[in-house]
């Protein structure tokens, strides 16, 4: 876990897989799940300056780029490049 990464609401309801990597200056809101998928043991790698909205789910061997914002309730199962805003289920980019 990187420097200055914070968990809002004292990390209430946050679940993080054991080999997840989280970069610097990230903010993770409540009820977020970050972990593997059935048959895929690897967990996400999260870059720097990432905001993960409340209730978001990040699953599998994926890479989340730097300066990414993930909307509340989004489900991320594919890589997200740098400087994206994604929302939905499955998460799709809405803004660079």
Domain boundaries of the chain, sorted by first residue: 6-78
In sequence order, which residues have a C-beta less than 8 Å from that of residue 32 and are 6 or more positions away? 13, 14, 15, 52, 53, 54, 55, 56, 57, 58
- Asked about 30 being catalytic, the answer comes back as yes
Q: What are the two backbone dihedrals, phi and then psi, of residue 27, each rounded to the nearest 5 degrees?
A: -130, 125
Strand order in the sheet with 75-76: 15-16, 33-35, 57-59, 75-76
**Looking at 7, 27, 30, 54, which residue is catalytic?**
30
Q: What is the mean pLDDT of the chain?
A: 92
Per-residue model confidence (pLDDT) at position 40:
64
pLDDT score at 96 = 62
Question: Where does the pLDDT of residue 3 fall: very low under 50, low under 70, confident under 90, or very high at 90 and above?
Answer: very high
Confidence of residue 80 (pLDDT cuts 50, 70, 90): very high
**Percentage of the chain modeled with pLDDT above 90:** 79
Q: Which CATH superfamily is domain 6-78 in?
A: Hexapeptide repeat proteins (2.160.10.10)
Number of other CB atoms surrounding residue 47 within 10 Å? 21
pTM (two decimals): 0.92
């Amino acid at each position: 876990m990187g420097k200055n990464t914070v968990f809002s609401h004292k990390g209430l309801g946050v679940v993080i897989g054991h080999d997840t990597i989280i970069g610097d200056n990230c903010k993770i809101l409540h009820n977020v799940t970050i972990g593997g998928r059935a048959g895929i043991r690897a967990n996400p790698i999260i870059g720097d300056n990432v905001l993960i909205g409340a209730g978001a789910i990040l699953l599998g061997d994926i890479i989340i780029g730097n300066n990414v914002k993930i909307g509340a309730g989004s489900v991320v199962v594919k890589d997200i490049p740098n400087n994206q805003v994604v929302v939905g289920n499955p998460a799709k980019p809405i803004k660079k």
